[in-house]
Structure 1
Amino acid sequence: SADTVIKIAADPKHLGAQVGITSVLHTWGSAMTHHPHVHMIVPGGGLSADGTKWIACRKNFFLSMRVLSRLYRRLILEELAQLHKAGKLHFFGDHAGLADSAAFEAMLAPLRKIDWVVYAKEPFAGPKAVLAYLSRYTHRIAISNSRLIRFDAHSVTFRAKDYRLNGARRHTTMTLATGEFIRRFLIHVLPKGQHRIRHYGFYGNGNRAANISRIRDLFGAEPPTWKEVGDKDEGDNDPCLRCLALPCPCCGGRLIIKGTFKPTQQTKAPPRSTRHAA
Structure 2
Amino acid sequence: MARPGPEVADIFRDHGPAWRRANAGHMSLGQLKVMSAIETCRTAALGGHVARCADCTYTTIAYNSCRNRHCPKCQSAAARDWLAQREAELLPVPYFPVVFTLPAAIADLAYPNKAVIYDLLFKAAAETTLTLAADPKHLGARIGLTAVLHTWGSAMTHHPHVHMIVPGGGLSPDGTRWIACRPNFFLPVRILSKLFRRLILEKLATAYAAGQLRFFGDHADLTGPKAFAAFLARLRKIRWFVYAKRPFAGPEAVLAYLARYTHRVAISNSRLIRADDSGVTFTWKDYRVEGRARCKTMTLAVDEFIRRFLLHVLPRGFHRIRHYGLFAHGSRAANLTRARALLGAREPCATVTADPTGATAPPCLTQPCPCCGGRMIIIERFARGSSPIHRPSSPSAVIRVDTS
Quickly name the TM-score band, shorter chain normalised: 0.7 to 0.9
Matched, 1:79 2:203: yes
Cα contact 1:123–1:130 (8 A) shared by 2: no
Query: Which residue matches 2:262?
Result: 138
CA distance in 1, matches of 2:176, 2:248: 30
Q: Which moved more, 1:63-72 or 1:11-20?
A: 63-72
Deviation per residue, 1:19-66 (Å, 9 max, x gap): 010112222222111121112111111001221111112233322223
Q: Quick one: which of 341, 351, 376 aligns to 1:256?
A: 351
- Please, what TM-score do these two structures have when normalized by structure 2? 0.55
Matched-pair contact (CA < 8 Å) for 1:24–1:134: no
Structure 2 portions without partners, runs of 5+: 1-124, 364-377, 381-388, 390-404
Aligned length in residues: 243
Tell whether 2:241 aligns with 1:117.
yes
Equivalent residue in structure 2 for 1:12, among 121, 136, 140:
136
Indicate conservation of the 8 Å contact 2:184/2:247, yes or no. no
Once residues 303 and 311 of structure 2 are traced to their aligned partners in structure 1, the CA distance between those partners, rounded to angstroms, is: 13
Aligned-pair identity in percent equals 65
Q: CA deviation at 1:185?
A: 0.4
Map 1:197-208 → 2, pairs under 5 A: 197-208=321-332
Whichever residue aligns with residue 256 of structure 1, its letter is: T
Q: Distance in 1 between matches of 2:238 and 2:285?
A: 30
- State the Cα deviation string for residues 189-243 of structure 1 (Å, max 9, x = none): 222222222111111111111111111111112334xxxxxxxxxxxxxxxxxxx
Query: TM-score w.r.t. structure 1 length?
Result: 0.78
1:213 pairs with one of 320, 326, 337: 337
CA contact (8 A) 1:22 1:40 kept: yes
Aligned to 1:105: 229
Q: CA separation of 1:109/1:93 partners in 2, compared to 1, >3 Å: closer, same or farther? A: same
**Higher relative contact order by CA 8 Å / sep ≥ 6: 1 or 2?**
2
Cα distance 1:191–1:166, how it changes in 2: closer, same or farther (>3 A)?
same
- Aligned residue type for 1:22: T
* Structure 1 pair 95–6 and aligned structure 2 pair: CA distance change class (3 A): same
Alignment-derived partner of residue 93 in structure 1: 217
How far did residue 84 of structure 1 move? 1.0
When Rg is computed on C-alpha atoms for both structures, the one with the higher figure is 1
Q: Would you say 1:188 and 2:312 are equivalent positions? A: yes
Q: What letter corresponds to residue 131 of structure 1 in structure 2? A: L
Shift of 1:127: 5.1
Secondary structure of the residue that 2:244 maps to in structure 1?
A: coil
**Separation in 1, partners of 2:355, 2:292:** 54
3-state DSSP of counterpart to 1:46: strand
Contiguous gaps of at least 5 residues in structure 1: 225-244, 246-254
